[in-house]
Structure 1
């Protein structure tokens, strides 16, 4: 028996030696920095390259399902060229579209054959990108669209298998490429909603795999609702307002293309009225407002940046210098780090359903709007007793027509907050007053155990209260 045990031990040792753990895939198992420090480090980067490269670069229309991938064969692809160009401009990080809405993956995903491994090119582009950018000491971000037209990951169609598909692909991206600094999701809040694909499950997964990775979802809401770094959509005219203290990022397009992606117009065409002065002005203004500026740079069908980008980025690098006298990032408002799902909502007026899970059709957003009398109450049922200490209130906002922005009208100026374990005995835990502006509101309170949360709105800007979303959960001190 001892001989069998010895033989088994030797075999196990040989297997481990044959498959050593790669150092690049070693990541922290616990968050090593506070959220305040992670955000400060991110904002210190200031300038990044948004690399929009995917099947739309080869002619697919926005959201087109099952576009043929046989033409995807970028034999000259050189991620080192991208990284060198980013470095020449003074950029500090990159963000690559690993999968856009059309569902094509730039890595070999075991969950689909609609990926780079099934094309004539075959090689893993995500790995080439992260290796090239790390070699230049640049931060690494990955973009991943949860909405996926080819695999029918869409609103009102999510099954347990489709949720496993999403989680599986996120796990691949956050396991196989070492430490990821910034993970951006899209086509989730505005297309599917954070309940059908549960936000708390996705965030818990990301936190488990990459504890120090900052998260963005393209919600179009100018508040840290279900994310850590809010995003401003440049082509929609979204822009951080004067005095903004919210750590955030903005994506900007300067060169013509197929939306955000390369087309035959790209090599010769800046967008009308755009150019280096526009870029420098936006970059400088974003920097002052604690918003990282990400310039879209679209590789062509050979996998290279056209000369128009190489020249533009060198020109920016020889002109722009970061403002080293900018004060450090102000202390951020309490961040909900563990979001608690809301089971149901009741309101004294208005349509309570509009407070729940991205009520949106196309570009029309449906916000909750009270009648003209105050006070108004909103009661949340969490479904069970939970420990909590923070409520986030997202203000009225406009997506289209541009400019996309948070709106002052309807935003709360005074409210009380109550909690209850049984919906009968409510205890007042906060009474807040806010300035009349478009800034999102948070209510922080001592750690409490409750199932029901009642928000009593005493006043708002204008005759009615308007709220886009509510989030409740637990935060840690930044």
Structure 2
């Protein structure tokens, strides 16, 4: 398995990922019947047999994968990732290695097959989630040292299921492992498994939740306890509930639309559409050549319906993307100049996009420290060409309306001669860069003293 460095070039087979920027995560399984999160079995220490009986009897009647796919497409998602098996061990496909599945129990349906067929037909890239962990299997937690025979069976089961998923469902573009704890990459044989995955699916992207390896990651004080993210293994990083750029590879931030839980929860609080859109924009702004995607979650109900709160917010963002998508899809990152007092920035080729979170109603906007010569400025939200004046590294954008032209974020597109560039001040930010520049700025413009005029007494 090849290791990537900070300067890696994205292969052509993976450029769809950086073009997409926006994916849909789907957490759905028999745990939705409890409506208290996907980990309810463990977190509430439920009776294992009772849970299994309820899972086996689960038979959702309103699951319509084509409706899901249609909604995802209208919402502006470019790919999706579906939970084939979460930590409870229930399989959402027709596995040859267990009867604890949607296909062999009451539902009698291969939900992975239905998802793949519908989303592929709608033109979305296909991702699959698979949990290493299985709360039903003692040997997983005992491990190879305490139970070598049991562990060998568990590991074979895991490997066989992953290979099964990558053999029976056509092209799989994206694979999301989860739940390494308390094992590591050497226990799991994850490096060998990924090699086999690449043989079965040469174009696949595999995430970094493969466990720490003594060979590739070296000694880690936590022994891999936690998310199991590897510093070196995996094609893309997966920061969860936060946005942190991974400098070594592609990355996507996985986030919920609610306050915390991934699967359907009765009474959960929902984030508003502008907060969710800002999360997407922040990912794109921080992206650059190494990725910067948002994988935004939906937790369908036990009966197979997308919650109306999800649909409402997703479609509102989708309508914004219909107009402003060029600022997100295939963008090259942003934050060319300091812009936090207004909003965020992304770039694409010769364009700089000003994504305005705070519309103040003033007719003129000043953008400091842009060294590139500007050719044109457009209010992308309405299509209006805007007058502008450029004086040195200052750009003044004129003729802005008093009222914000969009309930969500209006976008101004600045066309530059060549790739947008900033001066030295623009490249260095608050709490960063050379502090002497601040001293020079203060000295040259006001003096050195604590008095109002800056003059020494």
TM over 0.5: yes
Counterpart in 2 of 1:96?
82
Q: 2:263 aligns with which of 257, 261, 264?
A: 261
- Among 123, 128, 147, the alignment partner of 1:142 is 128
Shift of 1:247: 1.5
Separation (CA, whole Å) in 1 of partners of 2:317 and 2:104: 38
Q: Are 2:208 and 2:229, in contact at CA under 8 Å, matched by a contact in 1? A: no
- The worse-fitting range, judged by mean Cα deviation, of 108-117 and 57-66 is 57-66
The Cα offsets for residues 37-88 of structure 1, whole Å up to 9 and x where unpaired, read as 2343212111111000012212261546552314411011111121111111
Residue aligning to 2:250: 247
Match of 2:164 in 1: 172
Distance in 2, matches of 1:46 and 1:96, equals: 17
Q: 2:233 aligned with 1:226, yes or no?
A: yes
Partner of 2:387: none
Secondary structure of residue in 2 paired with 1:195? helix
Asked whether the equivalents of residues 214 and 228 of structure 1 are also in contact (C-alpha less than 8 Å), the reply is yes
The answer to whether the 8 A contact 1:93-1:138 is kept is yes
Shift of the 99–199 alpha-carbon distance from structure 1 to 2, 3 Å rule, reads same
| Residues 298-313 of structure 1: pairs in structure 2 closer than 5 A | 298-313=299-314
Mapped pair 1:182 → 2:174: yes
C-alpha distance in 1 between matches for 2:310 and 2:10: 34
Q: Is the 8 A contact 2:257 2:310 kept in 1?
A: no
Separation (CA, whole Å) in 1 of partners of 2:327 and 2:12: 18
* 8 Å Cα contact 2:95-2:101 kept in structure 1: yes
Does the CA contact (< 8 Å) of 2:285 and 2:333 recur in 1? Answer: no
Report the alpha carbon displacement of residue 195 of structure 1 after superposing the two structures with TM: 0.9
Give the corresponding residue for 1:476.
none
* Contact residue 284 and residue 333 of structure 2 kept, 8 A: no
How much has 1:222 moved relative to structure 2? 7.3
Offset of 1:313 from its aligned partner?
A: 1.2
Q: Give the length in aligned residue pairs.
A: 286
User: How far apart are residue 310 of structure 1 and its match?
Assistant: 1.6
- Specify the SS of the correspondent of 2:164: helix
RMSD of aligned alpha carbons? 2.5
Q: For the pair shown, which has the larger CA radius of gyration, 1 or 2?
A: 2
CA apart distance, 1:327: 5.5
Q: Quick check: 150-159 or 118-127, which moved more?
A: 150-159
Q: Report how far residue 107 of structure 1 moved.
A: 0.6
Task: Please state which structure has a larger fraction of its residues in helix.
Answer: 2
Q: CA deviation at 1:123?
A: 0.4
Deviation at 1:185, TM superposition (A): 0.6
Change (3 A) 1:108 1:61: same
Query: Where does residue 52 of structure 1 map in the other structure?
Result: 27
SS of aligned partner of 2:294: strand
Equivalent in the alignment of 1:430 = none
Contact in 1 for aligned 2:119/2:126 (Cα 8 Å): yes
Cα 1:153–1:316 change in 2 (3 A) is farther
**Retained in 2: the 8 A contact 1:249–1:292?**
yes
Q: Using a 3 Å threshold, how does the CA distance of structure 1 residues 136 and 222 change in structure 2: closer, same or farther?
A: same
Deviation at 1:224, TM superposition (A): 5.0
4+ residue runs of structure 1 moved beyond 3 angstroms?
62-66, 217-224, 243-246, 323-330
> After the TM superposition, which residues 425-444 of structure 1 pair with which residues of structure 2 at under 5 Å, given as runs?
none
Tell me the distance in 2 between the aligned counterparts of 1:146 and 1:187. Answer: 5
Q: Residue 294 in 1 paired to residue 295 in 2?
A: yes
1:50-449 equivalences under 5 Å are 50-59=25-34, 61-63=40-42, 65-66=48-49, 67-68=51-52, 69-152=55-138, 154-158=140-144, 159-188=151-180, 190-218=181-209, 220=227, 224-234=231-241, 238-241=242-245, 246-255=249-258, 259-265=261-267, 269-270=269-270, 274-290=271-287, 291-320=292-321, 321-324=324-327, 328=332
1:301 and 1:79 map into 2 onto residues whose CA distance is 14
Unaligned runs of 5+ in 2: 1-8, 145-150, 212-226, 335-457
Deviation at 1:245, TM superposition (A): 7.6
